[in-house]
Structure formats: C-alpha cells, structure tokens
C-alpha cells in the first residue's frame, strides 16, 4: 500500500512544532491530534456533531460492525471506523446494495476516530463522523480481521500521465461509485479527475448524481464519500452545494504529486470538553 502516513506525519509534526514555537505556546496543538486518536471510546450521548468536516468533533459516535453484508473493514488497528449513526446506516445500506449487485465485498477504510477530531496522519477531513473512504479493491474474498491490516491498495490512475489504468479499472468500480452516489444523504464523493471523466463518458439512465462526484487529486485508489449534516444538528456545518450541472466539462487529469502537509485548523471551543470527559 502506498503509505503516505509516515512522511505526512513527520512533516505535520514539524509544521505543528514550528507554529507552536512561533506562537510561543508549549504545544497543546502538537499533542492535539495524538490525543484525539487515543480517546478511549465514543463520548456517550445523543449524536451531536460540532464543527465542519475539516475541524470537528463528535458525541454519540458508533462503531461500524467490522464486517457485514457486502463489506469488510480495512486497517482495523487504526481505530478509525467510528462515525455518526447516519454514516453507519449509509455504509450498511451501501453494502447490501453492493451485495445485491453481486460484486464486492467492498473494503471500508478510514471513517472517523471515536470522538472525531484531527488525525495525526493521513487526512485533513474525516473529523465529523460523516466521511468514509471506500477502496477501489473489489477482488478480495471475505478475510479474517488480521488479514485486513496493511493490505495493498493499487493505484488505478497512471501516476505519470494522470490517465486511468484500463487494465485495472472495471465496470464494477463505476457501478460502486454510482451506487454510493445514488443516496440523498450524500453531499459529495471525491475521486480522481480521470475516474470522473470515465463516469461522465458512460451512459446512465439518470445522470443527476454526477453533480456530486467531485475531482480531487490522489483519490485514485479509493472513493471518499462525504454525507450531509444530519437533521437536527445545528452545530454541524455543511459545505455549500456543488455548482449545478454534471461537472463533466474541463476535467484536467492531474499527475499524482506529493500530498501537501496537513493544514492546522482550530476546532470549535466546545470540542475541548468532548476530549477531556
Ligand atoms: Zn478520505
């Protein structure tokens, strides 16, 4: 698996230390991401999201059952299969639809930490319990939990040209994304521009879901689903809707470049109590 975590972690730590030094603070921000990753479990209570996707925390999270109909989780040891109950429902529904379509099981990668919050490596978002990465690996049978650590994650877009690797990309990948998008709870799905280009070129009975597929670099081995804020969550901040239309014009395949280091964002004040309780 191309594992950017080590370098990102190193760079992020350096960036955080630099900022902390500049601000003259003894580094509560430096420890912040690690603290969130070691939260013992969800904070019990009615489900409540505080903040936006890239700077948020979560009360009343649930853990996705680590395997179910049409899906299995990957990299269990990271403890990132938590989310708002609406995300758990969404993934279980999608698993059933994948099973009905007779492919899969799909591999469910990172969701959120038990109380959301920033991650010490790998993602800027995934903080509010509404994001999930679903891998483009559909070729594996149901595996034991221990076999699902550190699985290889093949890249389906040529890193030099930005073109889709036709030897690896299949009908089932396109179908998986269509199934994932065809759900009113979905706000956006991020995939590589070459993947979106392929989806746009296909015949679909209904094309309205294409609007929610947004190109994002380096999403060439997984799709990233982001759900809308659930009802009755006044502290949850949604992104604006994507522009109208299919978004199929002007797609520019971008070669895979090194990911940028993670920006530091300030969590809502109310999140302090979520971590300390
Ligand atoms: Zn993601």
How much distance in Å is there from the Cα of 252 to the middle of ligand 1?
Answer: 21
Tell me, yes or no, whether 184 lies in a domain: yes
pLDDT tens per residue, range 63-122: 999 999 999 999 999 999 999 999 999 999 999 999 999 999 999 999 999 999 999 888
Tell me, yes or no, whether 234 lies in a domain: yes
CA 64 vs CA 20, 111, 158, 230: distances in Å: 35, 9, 32, 17
Tell me, yes or no, whether 154 lies in a domain: yes
How much distance in Å is there from the Cα of 110 to the middle of ligand 1?
Answer: 7
How much distance in Å is there from the Cα of 123 to the middle of ligand 1?
Answer: 6
pLDDT tens per residue, range 191-235: 999 999 999 999 999 999 999 999 998 899 999 999 999 998 999
CB under 5 Å of ion ligand 1: residues: 133, 224
pLDDT at 159 (0 to 100): 83
CA 127 vs CA 54, 200, 263, 274: distances in Å: 6, 30, 13, 13
**Are 246 and 200 spatial neighbours (Cβ–Cβ below 8 Å)?**
yes
Tell me, yes or no, whether 275 lies in a domain: no
* Total number of domains constituting the chain: 1
What pTM value is reported for the model?
0.87
Query: CATH number of the domain that 114 lies in?
Result: 3.30.1380.10
Tell me, yes or no, whether 60 lies in a domain: yes
**Are 82 and 112 spatial neighbours (Cβ–Cβ below 8 Å)?**
yes
| Helix or strand holding residue 276 (H, E) | helix 271-276
pLDDT at 54 (0 to 100): 92
CA 240 vs CA 65, 228, 229, 236: distances in Å: 31, 10, 11, 13
Q: Which two tokens stand for residue 22?
A: 């500049």
Tell me, yes or no, whether 269 lies in a domain: no
How much distance in Å is there from the Cα of 24 to the middle of ligand 1?
Answer: 33
**Model confidence at 255, in pLDDT bands (50, 70, 90)?**
low
Tell me, yes or no, whether 47 lies in a domain: yes
Which domain, by its residues, includes 27?
Answer: 5-253
Q: Which of 189, 148, 64 is nearest to 114 (CA)?
A: 64
- Tell me the C-alpha distance between 125 and 132, whole Å: 10
pLDDT tens per residue, range 137-174: 999 999 999 999 999 999 999 888 889 999 999 999 99
pLDDT at 266 (0 to 100): 87
Q: Which two tokens stand for residue 265?
A: 């964002």
3-state secondary structure (DSSP) of residue 222: strand
- Tell me the C-alpha distance between 149 and 78, whole Å: 9
pLDDT tens per residue, range 32-42: 677 899 999 99
How much distance in Å is there from the Cα of 227 to the middle of ligand 1?
Answer: 12
Tell me, yes or no, whether 102 lies in a domain: yes
**What's the mean per-residue pLDDT of the chain?**
87
């Amino acid at each position: 698996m191309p594992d950017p975590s080590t370098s990102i972690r190193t760079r992020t730590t350096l960036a955080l230390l630099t900022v902390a030094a500049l601000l003259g603070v003894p580094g509560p921000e430096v420890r912040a991401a690690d603290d969130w990753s070691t939260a013992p479990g969800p904070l019990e209570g009615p489900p409540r999201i505080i903040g936006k996707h890239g700077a948020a925390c979560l009360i009343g999270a649930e853990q996705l059952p680590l395997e179910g109909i049409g899906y299995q989780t990957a990299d269990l040891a990271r403890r990132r299969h938590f989310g708002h109950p609406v995300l758990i429902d969404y993934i279980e529904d999608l698993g059933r639809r994948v099973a009905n379509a007779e492919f899969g099981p799909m591999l469910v990668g990172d969701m959120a930490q038990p109380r959301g919050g920033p991650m010490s490596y790998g993602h800027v978002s995934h903080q509010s319990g509404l994001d999930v990465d679903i891998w483009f690996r559909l070729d594996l049978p149901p595996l034991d939990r221990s076999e699902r650590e550190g699985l290889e994650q093949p890249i389906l877009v040529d890193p030099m040209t930005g073109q889709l690797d036709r030897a690896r990309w299949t009908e089932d990948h396109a179908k998986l994304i269509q199934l994932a998008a065809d759900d009113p709870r979905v706000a956006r799905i991020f995939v590589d521009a070459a993947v979106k280009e392929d989806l746009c070129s296909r015949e679909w009975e209904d094309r309205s879901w294409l609007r929610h597929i947004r190109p994002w670099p380096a999403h060439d081995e997984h799709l990233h689903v982001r759900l809308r804020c659930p009802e009755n969550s006044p502290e949850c901040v949604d992104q604006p809707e994507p522009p109208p239309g299919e978004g199929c014009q002007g797609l520019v395949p971008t070669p895979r470049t090194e990911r940028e280091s993670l920006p530091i964002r300030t969590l809502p004040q109310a999140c302090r109590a979520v971590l300390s309780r």
